[in-house]
Structure 1
């Protein structure tokens, strides 16, 4: 009996130790997830799903790692196992909803999110992960307002259940931050830190908020504070790296130093995570963001040798090769990515690059279609119309080029007066006197007029084009109205007092004086003024045929 008693005590001790190990291991796995050590977390959680196979939480967090690594199909399979273990697992239903959401199956996502909420009771964690899920479908880092608002709504419901869930408060702050609601974001981050002053994720999130406000010094301070809490918290280095790059873009004097520092910070991030394929792919994303395309091409080529067929490598090869003007490599890589990848993984920026690559490869028509596809997928990509306009202009498809620039100026906030000049010149060159469409001249003059109004002072090139447009309006050359006269006179006032700098400038002066000479010759019948202008034409261009004809006729008239 004593022997049985000893064995019973030993078994009980092992059970207690096992429970302690499980609790610690799950906590460690979650800590690894927060630190973006996904391979480490995945290894621990796979073990837990075996050793503690009745705990549905283990399956959920393993599935969540798959979500973060962009393997939604694997995540879905694991969440379903969690539900098999516990049919009332709110977390795993939330996970299924997220897997459907990232796969853009919103109906299924909503069904599973509703089921998760029904089963959650007073547990706020399912609300946290539904909120996180709504923020995952970002396009080039931008979360759609509808998705962010859905996240905010569900997270506030979770907050009503448990206002002391610090993780929930951080995610709620993130949701507000994506919509530039800085006050609300900061309030939630501060509330989270009041609950847990050593919450590194809240410190980093606040640092990111200051980055978006271009307050880089406070950003760095908060990243350092996060690292003081946990020196191995890799995300602090990652966000610090991205802050350095934003700083470099905003301050040219700091550009070189900050890009270099940013790359070093990201390497620290890699060293603190797991140097997995997913981490290296994220590094490739960072290099693209940093504009270090030489390093990106080297990294993409290295990944191609060790990626075990991960197609995303082709995306980075295409981006880098295009920027490095290696267009054949870029075209092959991008075609491979777009044709072989799951269509749900292809993003607008991929079509943007495909269009640029095709245009650079002489496939302009295909390139324009690809750029239009990029805009269709993401209507914030209005800048593609400037690229479409440039391509069409190079092909001498001037009216379509003008339409593209008009679209760009209508839809984008980045349009400049130079873009109005491009629009105007496109429509001007589209006009054909043999098949006159005066609406093209009206559109051209409207663009040039806008520049004149906004520029504050006359611009010679614009004045010259307004002269040409108005000259084209004089369709009846035998009954010239002189619409262009004031513009050619203004052009000469602006540039005619200095010697022409080159042949182009000389030709423009000849054009202006020739028009005025003909105007005075035929319209005003003012021989003196006509002679004055054609004399200047002859001085600039002794072989000018129009001036020669004028003086020949003038001489003949005198002979008679």
Structure 2
């Protein structure tokens, strides 16, 4: 850095020195200084393409994706037109989650270089992200034909697995991920692959295998409360509601204000007490309401679920007065809610079947 400073002192218009200072600052994670140096390079020569490229990559690293893409577009406008430049832009658009735009650039490169394995990889990724799963499968098969075996990445297998699930080939997806995990040595990459495998198991309703995989994740340094939540959901999917409740208890203890965990715990306890006689879900739905009532728009569905449960819990025990406020809250959120409408008819003495209210209430909770 000192050498570049001396070079700039000798020649204040030395654009490459400003560029190199910017690169060094990016590497040392000094974004402010990096931008200052790159901006100076551009001020000296507004058509100095490399500075735009570095500036775009800096924006991307900072999560400023719109600035990153627009700045990289400036770079491509100035840089020499070539498949390499188009490939860089395609990759940049993909990383910035601009998948349709990335696909356009990918196809430009493949028109000139049909065997460019990186662009064939990106084509499969982009097609998946834009919802063309059959096209993604064909693109992935083509990529695997031309890519050298040593160039296959864990991310390739993860995408291939997701594509296979979307095209109705779940068992093949699981086989792909199992073989991939066995070959991964990097702990972080293995963790990512295990998450993909667990997600695939869940998509195939193989909850016991998902539980085993989440436990494997939790035994590593990478396991966190998000994984605990997923483990709880897998237990619920496998109808192991007591185990799910225990897992959600870990989360509510660690994060007492995390509302979704109370809702999930209430659902698990509802399934342990499906006729609601014991009211096992009651304290958790009450806590959920306490935590979310200030933002009824965001938590509308959960509040309808919680108030419906608490209304029914009181109604089936004959406590019509206690049930009424809960159903009124449901109707305030959703005036067409059939559970609350039926319950209010019962409360007001209009002929209605208790079984109808109970059935729709329990179904609503189980679906969540």
Q: TM-score range by the shorter chain?
A: 0.5 to 0.7
8 Å contact 1:204–1:223 — kept in the other structure?
yes
8 Å contact 1:420–1:447 — kept in the other structure?
yes
1:508 to 285, 303, 309: 309
- How far 1:217 sits from its partner (Å)? 3.6
Aligned residue number for residue 353 of structure 1: 159
- How far 1:205 sits from its partner (Å)? 5.0
**Correspondence 1:461 to 2:263:** yes
8 Å contact 1:448–1:465 — kept in the other structure?
no
> What secondary structure, in the 3-state scheme, does the structure 1 residue paired with 2:188 have?
coil
**Correspondence 1:490 to 2:290:** no
**Correspondence 1:317 to 2:123:** yes
**Correspondence 1:451 to 2:255:** no
Partner Cα distance (2:35, 2:98) in 1: 22
2:83 to 277, 286, 304: 277
Aligned residue number for residue 243 of structure 1: 58
8 Å contact 1:284–1:300 — kept in the other structure?
yes
- How far 1:332 sits from its partner (Å)? 0.8
Partner Cα distance (1:428, 1:356) in 2: 23
TM-score of the superposed pair, with normalisation by structure 1: 0.47
Q: What are the residue-to-residue correspondences of 1:323-338 with 2, within 5 Å?
A: 323-338=129-144
CA deviation map 1:426-480 (0-9, x unaligned): 113313xxxxxxxx556423320122112223744144145247659xxxx9xxx
Q: What are the residue-to-residue correspondences of 1:106-505 with 2, within 5 Å?
A: 190=1, 192-193=3-4, 203-211=18-26, 215-226=30-41, 234-247=49-62, 249=63, 255-268=65-78, 270-271=79-80, 275-307=81-113, 309-372=115-178, 375=181, 376-377=183-184, 378-381=186-189, 382-408=191-217, 411=220, 415=224, 417=226, 419-431=227-239, 440=240, 443-457=243-257, 459=259, 460-465=262-267, 467-468=269-270, 471=273, 485=278, 487-491=280-284, 493-494=286-287, 504-505=305-306
- How far 1:325 sits from its partner (Å)? 1.2
- How far 1:216 sits from its partner (Å)? 3.6
CA deviation map 1:355-383 (0-9, x unaligned): 22222222222223434555543532323
- How far 1:424 sits from its partner (Å)? 0.7
CA deviation map 1:105-154 (0-9, x unaligned): xxxxxxxxxxxxxxxxxxxxxxxxxxxxxxxxxxxxxxxxxxxxxxxxxx
CA deviation map 1:383-417 (0-9, x unaligned): 34444333332322222223344445555758554
State how many pairs are aligned.
318
CA deviation map 1:492-524 (0-9, x unaligned): 6447899x978745663367559xx7xxxxxxx
In structure 1, runs of 5+ residues without a counterpart are: 1-189, 432-439, 518-529, 549-560
- How far 1:239 sits from its partner (Å)? 1.4
8 Å contact 2:236–2:268 — kept in the other structure?
no
Partner Cα distance (1:547, 1:333) in 2: 51
TM-score of the superposed pair, with normalisation by structure 2: 0.68
CA deviation map 1:235-264 (0-9, x unaligned): 4332112122234x25xxxx5344323322
- How far 1:327 sits from its partner (Å)? 1.4
8 Å contact 2:154–2:180 — kept in the other structure?
yes
Q: Tell which structure's C-alpha radius of gyration is larger.
A: 1
8 Å contact 1:288–1:296 — kept in the other structure?
yes
- How far 1:223 sits from its partner (Å)? 2.1
- How far 1:347 sits from its partner (Å)? 2.2
* Counterparts in 2 of 1:451 and 1:350: CA distance versus 1, 3 Å: same
Aligned residue number for residue 100 of structure 1: none
Partner Cα distance (1:205, 1:362) in 2: 50
CA RMSD of aligned residues (A): 4.3
- How far 1:336 sits from its partner (Å)? 0.9
> What secondary structure, in the 3-state scheme, does the structure 2 residue paired with 1:447 have?
helix
* Counterparts in 2 of 1:543 and 1:299: CA distance versus 1, 3 Å: same
CA deviation map 1:54-109 (0-9, x unaligned): xxxxxxxxxxxxxxxxxxxxxxxxxxxxxxxxxxxxxxxxxxxxxxxxxxxxxxxx
Partner Cα distance (1:353, 1:195) in 2: 49
Partner Cα distance (1:201, 1:348) in 2: 37
